[in-house]
Amino acid sequence: MGSTVAESFIRKQVRRILAEEAAAPKEGKPKANKPESQSEGAGQVWSGIRGGRLPKWAVEALGGSKKAERLAYTNPAALMKNLKLSAASGETTVKRVEQLVIQSFSSRPEMGEAFASPELRKDSAGKNGVFVPAGELAGRTGSTIMHDLIYGAWKAGYLRLTGNLRLEQMDGGTIIFNVSKKSDRWE
């Protein structure tokens, strides 16, 4: 019976030590101060797009060439100010995305040159989306800029989501569409 009391005592001490360690602040690298999300509505923005080489005007507008430097991730409100945008309006998320893209074209001439007018589309599975054709920019570069625009607008509270959005690079541009889960793809 003595060993059972000793085992119980040891278990209690181990639990106490583990609880103290879990409650104590972690030492090492301090976490970066991330701005709080001001996004509205239920939903998230997902993307499988890997960055391309950004032109000088885009680096200036987006706040940097590397993902960790860009304003969409560090200060989305400043990105919206750089792009001279206001909150998007529309009945659906897709309509709000389309309106935001059009607004960016008129507020930044480079955006209007880099992309053609957005088109509403529906895939074979019935998902609604906005296709933004590439103008001067092709491939990943244009898709990276569109991702930062949409993600930054969502984080800054300029784009209200009523569901999840996904961005994918397509031949000739970027498709932005509603999804129910992260693994959904445009068909």
Is 67 within the bounds of a domain? Answer: yes
90-96 average pLDDT score: 91
By C-alpha distance, which of 121, 115, 122, 150 is closest to 136? 115
140-163 average pLDDT score: 90
pLDDT tens for 170-187 read: 888 998 988 887 777 787
* Residues 163/128, Cβ–Cβ less than 8 Å: no
Q: Max Cα separation, the chain? A: 83
Is 131 within the bounds of a domain? Answer: yes
Would the pLDDT of 129 be above 70?
Answer: yes
Q: Which two tokens stand for residue 23?
A: 């409650």
Q: Which two tokens stand for residue 184?
A: 């959904």
**Enclosing H/E stretch for 177:** strand 173-179
pLDDT tens for 50-87 read: 666 788 888 888 888 787 788 988 999 999 998 899 99
DSSP state letters, 19-40 = HHHHHSPPPSSPPP-PPPP---
Domain count for the chain, please give it: 1
pLDDT of 34: 37
Is 100 within the bounds of a domain? Answer: yes
Q: What domain range includes position 48?
A: 39-179
Is 58 within the bounds of a domain? Answer: yes
**Enclosing H/E stretch for 98:** helix 93-107
Going by pLDDT thresholds of 50, 70 and 90, the confidence category of residue 138 is: low
pLDDT of 50: 67
136-142 average pLDDT score: 77
Would the pLDDT of 98 be above 90?
Answer: yes
pLDDT of 1: 54
Is 19 within the bounds of a domain? Answer: no
Q: Which residues have a Cβ under 8 Å from the Cβ of 127 and sit 6 or more positions away?
A: 177, 178, 179, 184, 186, 187
* Residues 143/130, Cβ–Cβ less than 8 Å: no
Phi, psi dihedrals of residue 169, rounded to the nearest 5°: -80, 130
How crowded is residue 179: how many other Cβ atoms within 10 Å of its Cβ?
A: 18
Return the amino acid letter for 119: E
